Chains A and B, each alone.
Chain A
Amino acid sequence: SQTIHQWPATLVQPVGSPLSLECTVEGTSNPNLYWYRQAAGRGLQLLFYSVGIGQISSEVPQNLSASRPQDRQFILSSKKLLLSDSGFYLCAWSGLAGPSYEQYFGPGTRLTVT
């Protein structure tokens, strides 16, 4: 069966520090991968998605970036964190895009920027 891992689970970082969040998927090949952010009490905001190694699409301009160095690894990074980067970051994967394929989410990383 497929599983998705995220780490760290929680992170407290000062403003201006770098960020690296990692997501890995097991039990499937060539997944579509997604990064979402969920601000406190808010809905989901899609940040990035990837349909293959090295292929990243950005949904919103910001100081975050994403990379996919391996088929089942997706990394979210920042060179300098802002207070507004605080939130709950969720990674997700899906099989094929289209009308029937749902996304499966990881446990999330709670980021607090102080």
Chain B
Amino acid sequence: GDSVTQMEGPVTLSEEAFLTINCTYTATGYPSLFWYVQYPGEGLQLLLKATKADDKGSNKGFEATYRKETTSFHLEKGSVQVSDSAVYFCALPPLDDYKLSFGAGTTVTVRA
């Protein structure tokens, strides 16, 4: 079935460092791909999405490009801040189902 595999971490960085979180997927067809972010004690928020191959989603300085040839959707940010400390989830909606497939989540801690 459709699924995502995500780098699990935890990841600890210094402020202004470069962040990348790997996400690869297995899917029939070409679904949309999402990155969600969960700040401490909160629910998940949609961070960015891409709806077709070669699309780049971006938000809050984060970017991810939908790569069909490598079945990947890696999340990147060039200069992280302490406020980026959160858990990040990659997700994929199956074409014929109501459920999102989530990755295991990557905990990111940014130190000042």
Contact = CB atoms under 8 A, between A and B. Distances in A.
Interface of A: 6, 32, 34, 43-44, 46, 49, 51, 59, 90, 92, 94, 97-108, 110
B46 A102 contact: yes
B44 A105 contact: yes
A43 B102 contact: yes
B100 interface: yes
B32 interface: yes
Contacts of A59: 99
A106 B45 CA distance: 9
A105 B45 contact: yes
Contact of A101 (B30, B41, B93, B102): B93
Q: Categorize the interface residue count of chain B.
A: 20 to 34
A100 B32 contact: yes
6 contacts: A43-B102, A43-B105, A59-B99, A99-B32, A99-B51, A105-B45
A99 B98 contact: no
A111 to B, nearest CB: 14
Interface of B: 29-32, 34, 36, 41-46, 49, 51, 89, 91, 93, 95, 97-100, 102-105
Secondary structure of the B side of the interface? loop
Instruction: From B42, B91, B95, name the one whose CB has the most chain A CB atoms within 10 angstroms.
Output: B42
Contacts, number: 57
B93 A97 contact: yes
A43 B103 contact: yes
B103 to A, nearest CB: 7
Nearest to A51: B98
Contacts of A90: 43-44
B96 to A, nearest CB: 8
B108 to A, nearest CB: 14
A51 B35 CA distance: 24
A99 B95 contact: yes
A99 B29 contact: yes
Nearest to A90: B43
A44 B42 contact: no
